[in-house]
């Protein structure tokens, strides 16, 4: 009940160590910890379950075997509805993970090595992730939509010694190459010694002698006996790259003990998973949501987790709902962008299905607008299912602010209250805590939690600067939020130079760097603008010289090709405006605030423009934007 939540919350603040120690005690440890929590945000250096020893896969798999060996762990729904789904029991998954782990070892992988996983949504991606964790290798999953260049950057940053991939992939009506992309990425990666290839599309690919091996052949050579490596609670479990407001994406590091405890705790509480429920998280394993709430959280809880290879609109816009009925899904977790895109199709796609197995719905990744919230609530949940709007980040490891299904209240567009153990605050411009309600501020976290980011791989100073230096003693989220009368939080969105496109994070600098590689482009500035389906779209202003060039069509296409090549199609700018100049302050800083307003089409109130070097530049840009609008 709500009372219990409040008591639990109070206890977690008054005695955090006692609170987390009780929860951590429910797991299987090879050796118990000496201290629950050490350190603070200053260095930052925070350690949880100090000197505790464990292996997360024993907690995901082995410890369930006694009671759940025959229970389905993973249901896999393939891209094409005509193909057969796969059900893997806990016993089968355990066996497969052990075999894969032995294949990794046979091919030279060992504890502490970094292994890049670049695969579509097939059961083998989950098996690969767990196999790494089994032997203590650090997985770095790269979303299968990233380009060769983006993969190479990530492999090189972490000096990965191995890549696990597939020959190809299916996505809706398309068959796409995967291994070819890895081949071009590896032209500039010298740390990679082995590439393990899982067969999916069985189309011809190049296999490099001595480097590339087929997993289905390697599996034949190993046993299923693979004892789990003993890991320290603070040993790295994985790296996951994410974009920030400056420079290249950074490798967010999560560790074994704290991440395990919080992944399970938050999964169980947010979704109120009950034995035998079928749970479906539609996120890709390439993002943090896939890590925490498709793989680790559910498996740690002994749940049945569904993974879907395809897309929501293939073969038609009813696919999600078809899958819900087919597998009798009880809990469904997706992104607002998916809801908005399905909302745009005819309601008959929903009405064809019963959807009566659903008990709980969830969203993640971006603010959900009121219209999408109500559509989801009425048409999918039939007004019976609570919606857990979970706010969190790659860096937080798990959901931080969210309703707990059927326990705490829902309020459309509000992430509502923090989970027990999480202490959010709103800060004002001066870094002072705003104590009153009905106020807006910078969202920060005041006290460590078990699954918090430990470092950014290979560059601890970057971690300190990005998250722990803006406001001394706080973790800074980069989001703005407001608190209502009852103390419920509503997330407003990023207040830094991060754009959230369909729930995918991109730094404006990252996209600008890609565009600036074009030989005819002198400078560019990228901002986000409101997009009906994607939440935010990417708007690029580019300068080619003293005047706007004639052959804009060609340059536009070339810009898109550069972005495809350096980041991936998911980062393509939607709108490109050629300008002669960018609005800058006297000290040469681009005034993004103004560019954002123009991109939004909101030019009536541009705010203070007195610090602009050349006010006329803004006039020209507004004129150009008007023309651009009418040209679309
Ligand atoms: C945004 C995804 C509003 C936010 C788990 C955050 C949200 C960024 C919500 C992290 C939500 C995530 N409501 N905004 N429920 N969930 N965000 O690292 O801006 O891919 O900072 O993690 O997504 O994105 P990331």
Q: What is the pLDDT of residues 172-215, one digit of tens each?
A: 999 999 999 999 999 999 999 999 999 999 999 999 999 999 99
What is the DSSP annotation of 48-90? EEET-EE-HHHHHTGGGHHHHTTSEEEEEE-SSTTSPPEEEEH
Determine which helix (DSSP H) or strand (DSSP E) holds 537, and give its type and residue range: strand 535-543
Pocket residue to mutate for ligand 1, from 336, 373, 393, most atoms within 8 A of Cβ: 393
What was the pLDDT predicted at 632? 53
In this structure, the dihedral spanned by the alpha carbons of residues 301, 302, 303 and 308, taken in order and rounded to 10 degrees, is 100
Q: Residue 372's pLDDT band (boundaries 50, 70, 90)?
A: very high
Q: Report strand pairing: 250-255 vs 236-242.
A: antiparallel
> Which residues are bridge partners to 442 per DSSP?
427, 480
415-440 mean pLDDT: 97
- Beta-carbon neighbour count of residue 309 at 10 Å? 20
Spatial distance between the Cα atoms of 569 and 574, rounded to a whole number of angstroms: 11
- More confident: 334 or 496: 334
Pocket residue to mutate for ligand 1, from 340, 363, 365, 445, most atoms within 8 A of Cβ: 365
Contact 544, 521 (CB under 8 A): yes
CA-395 nearest atom, ligand 1 = 18
Give 457-461 contacts, CB < 8 A, sequence gap 24+.
457/157, 457/158, 457/239, 457/250, 457/251, 457/252, 457/253, 458/157, 458/158, 458/251, 459/250
Where do the domains of the chain lie? 2-430+445-469, 498-631
Could you give phi then psi for residue 418, rounded to 5 degrees?
-70, 150
What was the pLDDT predicted at 627? 82
Contact 243, 506 (CB under 8 A): yes
What is the DSSP annotation of 264-314? HHHHHHHH---TT-EEEE-S-TTSHHHIIIIIIHHHHTT-EEEEE-S-TTS
Q: Which of 221, 180, 222 is nearest to 201 (CA)?
A: 180
Does the CB atom of residue 289 touch ligand 1 within 6 A? yes
- Beta-carbon neighbour count of residue 357 at 10 Å? 16
Q: What angle do CA 191, 195, 196 make, to 5 degrees?
A: 145
Identify the weakest region by mean pLDDT among 199-213, 318-332, 442-456, 589-603: 589-603
Spatial distance between the Cα atoms of 497 and 528, rounded to a whole number of angstroms: 9
Spatial distance between the Cα atoms of 340 and 337, rounded to a whole number of angstroms: 5
420-440 mean pLDDT: 97
What was the pLDDT predicted at 605? 82
Q: Which of 330, 328, 337, 300 is nearest to 405 (CA)?
A: 330
Spatial distance between the Cα atoms of 263 and 218, rounded to a whole number of angstroms: 32
Tokens of 627: 């023309």
Does the CB atom of residue 392 touch ligand 1 within 6 A? yes
Considering only CA atoms, which residue is closest to atom 10 of ligand 1? 393
297-317 mean pLDDT: 98
Cα 207 to chain center, whole Å?
A: 31
**pLDDT tens per residue, range 506-524:** 999 999 999 999 999 999 9
Q: Residue 547's pLDDT band (boundaries 50, 70, 90)?
A: confident
DSSP state of 369: P
What percentage of the chain carries pLDDT values higher than 70? 100
Cα 111 to chain center, whole Å?
A: 25
What mean pLDDT value characterizes the chain?
A: 96
What was the pLDDT predicted at 216? 98
Q: Which residues contact 186 (CB under 8 A, 6 or more apart)?
A: 152, 155, 163, 192, 195
DSSP state of 480: E
Q: Which residues contact 286 (CB under 8 A, 6 or more apart)?
A: 141, 142, 143, 144, 145, 146
Does the CB atom of residue 242 touch ligand 1 within 6 A? yes
What was the pLDDT predicted at 145? 95
Considering only CA atoms, which residue is closest to atom 1 of ligand 1? 366
CA-478 nearest atom, ligand 1 = 21
Cα 241 to middle of ligand 1, angstroms: 15
Does the CB atom of residue 505 touch ligand 1 within 6 A? yes
Cα 252 to middle of ligand 1, angstroms: 15
CA-477 nearest atom, ligand 1 = 21
* Whether pLDDT at 36 is above 80: yes
Contact 252, 68 (CB under 8 A): no
What is the third-level CATH fold of 2-430+445-469? Rossmann fold (3.40.50)
Contact 480, 442 (CB under 8 A): yes
pTM value is: 0.96
What was the pLDDT predicted at 403? 98
CA-505 nearest atom, ligand 1 = 20
Contact 45, 136 (CB under 8 A): no
In this structure, the dihedral spanned by the alpha carbons of residues 527, 530, 534 and 537, taken in order and rounded to 10 degrees, is -30
Determine which helix (DSSP H) or strand (DSSP E) holds 577, and give its type and residue range: strand 575-579
Which segments of 428-505 does DSSP mark as H helices, in order? 460-468
Does the CB atom of residue 284 touch ligand 1 within 6 A? no
Does the CB atom of residue 425 touch ligand 1 within 6 A? no
Considering only CA atoms, which residue is closest to atom 24 of ligand 1? 393
* Whether pLDDT at 252 is above 70: yes
Cα 393 to middle of ligand 1, angstroms: 5
Q: Residue 631's pLDDT band (boundaries 50, 70, 90)?
A: low
Cα 128 to middle of ligand 1, angstroms: 26
Q: For 239, how many CA atoms within 13 A lie in the half-sphere containing its CB?
A: 26
Does the CB atom of residue 494 touch ligand 1 within 6 A? yes
Same topology, domains 2-430+445-469 and 498-631? Answer is no
129-152 mean pLDDT: 98
How far from 408 is each of 5, 19, 59, 570, 611, CA to CA, in Å?
A: 8, 20, 28, 36, 48
Spatial distance between the Cα atoms of 427 and 279, rounded to a whole number of angstroms: 36
Q: Residue 585's pLDDT band (boundaries 50, 70, 90)?
A: confident
* Whether pLDDT at 79 is above 70: yes
* Whether pLDDT at 313 is above 80: yes
Does the CB atom of residue 358 touch ligand 1 within 6 A? no
Cα 362 to middle of ligand 1, angstroms: 13
CA-289 nearest atom, ligand 1 = 5
- Exposure string of 436-471, with b = 16+ CB inside 10 Å and e = fewer, is eeeeebbbbbbbbbbbbbbbbbeeeebbbebbbebb
Q: Which CATH superfamily is domain 498-631 in?
A: ANL, C-terminal domain (3.30.300.30)
Q: Residue 614's pLDDT band (boundaries 50, 70, 90)?
A: confident
**pLDDT tens per residue, range 256-295:** 999 999 999 999 999 999 999 999 999 999 999 999 999 9
Contact 399, 266 (CB under 8 A): yes
Task: Give the chain's radius of gyration (CA, Å).
Answer: 24
């Amino acid at each position: 009940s709500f009372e219990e939540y409040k008591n639990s919350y109070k206890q977690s603040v008054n005695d955090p160590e006692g609170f987390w120690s009780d929860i951590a005690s429910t797991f299987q440890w090879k050796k118990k910890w000496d201290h629950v929590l050490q350190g603070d945000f200053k260095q930052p250096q925070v350690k949880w379950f100090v000197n505790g020893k464990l292996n997360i896969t024993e907690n995901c798999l082995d410890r369930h075997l006694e009671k759940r060996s025959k229970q389905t762990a993973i249901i896999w729904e393939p891209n094409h509805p005509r193909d057969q789904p796969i059900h893997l029991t806990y016993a089968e998954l355990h066996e497969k993970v052990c075999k894969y782990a032995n294949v990794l070892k046979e091919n030279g992988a060992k504890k502490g090595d970094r292994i890049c996983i670049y695969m579509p949504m097939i059961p083998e991606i989950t098996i690969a992730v767990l196999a790494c964790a089994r032997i203590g290798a650090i997985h770095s999953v790269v979303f299968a939509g990233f380009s060769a260049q983006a993969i190479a950057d990530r492999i090189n940053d972490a000096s990965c010694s191995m890549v696990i991939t597939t020959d190809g992939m299916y996505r809706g009506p398309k068959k796409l190459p995967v291994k070819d992309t890895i081949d071009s990425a590896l032209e500039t990666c010298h740390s990679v010694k082995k590439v393990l290839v899982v067969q999916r599309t069985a189309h011809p690919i190049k296999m490099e002698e001595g480097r590339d091996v087929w997993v289905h052949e390697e599996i034949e050579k190993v046993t299923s006996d693979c004892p789990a490596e003993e890991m320290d609670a603070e040993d790295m479990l994985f790296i996951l790259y994410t974009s920030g407001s400056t420079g290249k994406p950074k490798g967010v590091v999560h560790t074994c003990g704290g991440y395990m405890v919080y992944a399970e705790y938050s999964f169980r509480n947010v979704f109120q998973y009950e034995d035998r429920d079928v749970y479906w998280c539609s996120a890709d394993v390439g993002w943090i949501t896939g890590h925490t709430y498709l793989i680790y959280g559910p498996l740690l809880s002994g749940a049945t987790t569904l993974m879907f290879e395809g897309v929501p609109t293939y073969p038609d816009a009813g696919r999600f709902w078809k899958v819900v009925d087919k597998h009798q899904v009880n809990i469904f977790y997706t992104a607002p962008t998916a809801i908005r895109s399905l909302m745009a199709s005819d309601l008959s796609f929903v009405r064809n299905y019963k959807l009566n197995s659903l008990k709980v719905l969830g969203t993640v990744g971006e603010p959900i607008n009121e219209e999408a919230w109500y559509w989801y609530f009425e048409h999918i949940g039939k007004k019976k299912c609570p919606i857990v709007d979970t706010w969190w980040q790659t860096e937080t490891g798990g959901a931080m602010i969210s309703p707990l299904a059927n326990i705490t209240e829902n309020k459309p567009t509000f992430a509502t209250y923090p989970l027990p153990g999480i202490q959010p605050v709103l800060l004002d411009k001066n870094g002072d805590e705003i104590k009153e309600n009905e106020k807006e501020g910078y969202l920060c976290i005041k006290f460590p939690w078990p699954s918090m980011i430990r470092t950014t791989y290979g560059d601890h100073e970057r971690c300190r600067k990005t998250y722990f230096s803006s406001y001394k003693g706080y973790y800074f989220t980069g989001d703005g939020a407001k608190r209502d009368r009852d103390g419920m939080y509503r997330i407003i969105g990023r207040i830094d130079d991060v754009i959230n496109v369909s729930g995918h994070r991109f730094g404006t600098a990252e996209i600008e760097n890609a565009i600036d590689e074009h030989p005819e482009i002198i400078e560019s500035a990228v901002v986000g603008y409101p997009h009906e389906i994607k939440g935010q779209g990417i708007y690029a202003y580019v300068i080619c010289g003293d005047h706007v060039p004639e052959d804009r069509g060609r340059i536009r296409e070339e810009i898109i090709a550069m972005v495809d090549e350096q980041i991936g199609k998911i980062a393509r700018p939607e709108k490109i405006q050629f300008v002669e100049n960018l609005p800058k302050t006297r000290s040469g800083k681009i005034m993004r605030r103004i560019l954002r307003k123009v991109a939004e089409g909101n030019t009536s109130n541009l705010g203070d423009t007195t610090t602009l070097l050349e006010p006329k530049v803004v006039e020209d840009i507004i004129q150009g934007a008007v023309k651009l609008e009418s040209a679309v």
